Amino acid sequence: MENIFHGVKARLDEEEITELLSRPGIRIERIVSTGQASPPDFWYDQPNDEWVIVLTGSAGLAVEGEAERTLAPGDMAFLPARKRHRVVWTDVDRPTVWLAVHFGADLR
Amino acid sequence: MENIFHGVKARLDEEEITELLSRPGIRIERIVSTGQASPPDFWYDQPNDEWVIVLTGSAGLAVEGEAERTLAPGDMAFLPARKRHRVVWTDVDRPTVWLAVHFGADLR
């Protein structure tokens, strides 16, 4: 994929994750959401750090112990390993394209 | 900085690099260009891998041994360590905002 917006679908049954680059210690992904959210009471609890930016659309991000944040295009978030978080909602009118960078010495 | 487009200036005397995240093995930067290019005959020759995406504006990217590529919003490029490359031009009408991810086990 040469352009991150290539082939973004307006409607998906499930969130779509596409690996853009993977090397020891780092994985870069495109995530496309079209209204999907984390299941009720589901929290991500990841072994590695993650850094995300929303490129199109919008989303509600909840991080344990913090106020819910609305992410619009250009908004960034750092999600440290083991910091529980969930996606409360994503835009239903347009695709939300996220760029996610997962990293850590032990990430394969 | 919570939004990558925050405080982007329309004109800069020099390219502006802002560190967004830095950890052992990874550094994420925002780069803003307003018409700047690599000096004539200058080639980047970096000890670490770099992955870039253009978010706004446009740029001409030359990678040694490859055809020059025009990068528009959403276009991505992987620049392996020691792969010589240069920025031939950047948009003079609007700021070019790049997101750059530098990585490698020995990156501090």
- The CATH number of the domain where B62 resides is what? 2.60.120.10
Q: How confident is the model at residue B41 (pLDDT cuts 50, 70, 90)?
A: very high
Q: Is A92 on the interface with B (CB under 8 A)?
A: no
Q: What pLDDT is attached to residue A108?
A: 73
Domain limits for position A60 = 16-103
- In a domain, residue B40? The reply is yes
Taking the CA of residue B107 and the nearest CA in chain A, the distance in Å comes to 11
pLDDT for the residue numbered A105 = 81
b/e burial code for range B57-79 (CB count within 10 A of at least 16 → b) = bbbebbbeeeeeeebebbbbbeb
**% chain A with pLDDT above 70:** 100
The verdict on B100 touching A (C-beta cutoff 8 Å) is: no
Residue B30 lies in a domain: yes
Judged by CB atoms closer than 8 Å, whether chains meet at A55 and B51 is answered as no
| Number of structural domains in chain A | 1
Find the mean pLDDT for residues B72-98.
98
Q: What is the model's pTM? A: 0.96
Report the complex ipTM: 0.95
Mean pLDDT across the stretch A59-77?
97
pLDDT at residue number A1: 86
Q: Which of A1, A6, A23 to mutate to test the interface with B (most CBs of B within 10 A)?
A: A23
Band of residue B101 on the pLDDT scale cut at 50, 70, 90: very high
- Whether A9 is covered by a domain: the verdict is no
In a domain, B56, yes or no: yes
Q: Given this model, what pLDDT does residue B86 score?
A: 98
